[in-house]
Amino acid sequence: MPDIVSLVDEGLGNSSYLVDLGDQRALVLDPTRDPSGYLAVAERRGLQVAYAVETHLHADFVSGSRELAARGATVVAAAAGGLEFHHRGLGDGDEVDLGGLRLRALATPGHTPEHLAYLLSDGDAPLGLFSGGSLLVGAVARTDLIDPDQTEDLARALWRSLHERILTLPDDLPVYPTHGAGSFCSAPAGSERTTTIGREKAANPLLRAPDEDAFVKLLVGGLGTYPPYFGRLREVNRRGPAIYGPATSHLTPLDVDAVRRAVDDGAWVIDARPVAAFAAGHIPGAVSIQLRPAFATWLGWVVPDGVPLVFVVDDDQDRADLVRQARKIGYERLAGELAGGEAAWRAAGLAESRTPLLHPGGIDRTGLLDIRQAGEYAAGHVPGARSIELGALANHAGEVRGDVTVMCGHGERAATAASLLERAGNDAVRVVVGGPGDWAAATGQPLETTT
Core vs surface per residue 99-114: b (16+ CB within 10 A) or e: eebbbbbbbbbbbbbb
Band of residue 187 on the pLDDT scale cut at 50, 70, 90: low
Which residues are within 8 A (CB) of 229 and not within 5 positions of it... i.e. 6 or more apart? Answer: 300, 301, 305, 329, 330
Angstrom distance (rounded) from CA 319 to CA 314: 9
**What's the Cα-to-Cα distance from 434 to each of 110, 191, 406, 412, 422, rounded to whole Å?**
38, 23, 10, 9, 20
Taking only the tens place, the pLDDT of each residue in 356-414 is: 999 999 898 889 999 999 999 999 999 999 999 999 998 888 889 899 999 999 999 99
Of 332, 300, 280, nearest in space to 289 by CA: 300
pLDDT digits (tens, 9 = 90+) for 306-351: 999 999 999 999 999 999 999 999 999 999 999 999 999 999 999 9
Q: Are 301 and 413 in contact (CB under 8 A)?
A: no
Give the right CATH number for 253-347 from 3.40.50.2000, 1.10.10.10, 2.60.120.10, 3.40.250.10. 3.40.250.10
| CB atoms closer than 10 angstroms to residue 137 | 23
Q: At what angle do helices 151-161 and 212-221 cross, to 10 degrees?
A: 130
Burial class (CB in 10 A: 0-12, 13-18, 19+), 219: buried
Task: For the chain, give every domain's residue range.
Answer: 4-239, 253-347, 357-443
**DSSP letter (8 states) at residue 136:** E
pLDDT confidence band for 247 (50 / 70 / 90): low
Helices marked H in 65-164: 65-69, 151-161
Residue from 161, 130, 171 nearest 28 by CA: 130
Please report how many Cα atoms fall inside a 13 Å half-sphere around the Cα of residue 397, on the Cβ side: 24
Percentage with pLDDT > 90 across the chain? 90
| Region for residue 285 given its phi and psi (left: phi exceeds 0; alpha: psi -120 to 50; beta: otherwise) | left
- Mean pLDDT (the chain, rounded): 95
- Angle, helix 295-302 to helix 412-423, in steps of 10 degrees: 20
Q: Report the distance separating Cα 437 and Cα 199, nearest Å.
A: 33
Phi first, then psi: give them for residue 38, nearest 5 degrees. -70, -40
Q: 223 to each of 177, 181, 243, 302, 393, how far by Cα in Å?
A: 19, 14, 33, 20, 19
Whether 437 shows a pLDDT value over 90: the answer reads yes
From 54, 55, 33, 51, select the one nearest 42 (Cα to Cα): 51
pLDDT at 394: 87
Distance CA 130, CA 386 (A): 42
CATH 3.40.920.10 fits 357-443, yes or no: no
pTM of the full structure: 0.94
pLDDT for position 180: 86
Kindly report the number of other CB atoms within 10 A of residue 144's CB atom.
Answer: 20
CATH of domain 4-239: 3.60.15.10
Q: Quick one: pLDDT at residue 161? A: 98
Determine the length of the chain.
Answer: 451
Fold match between domain 253-347 and domain 357-443: yes
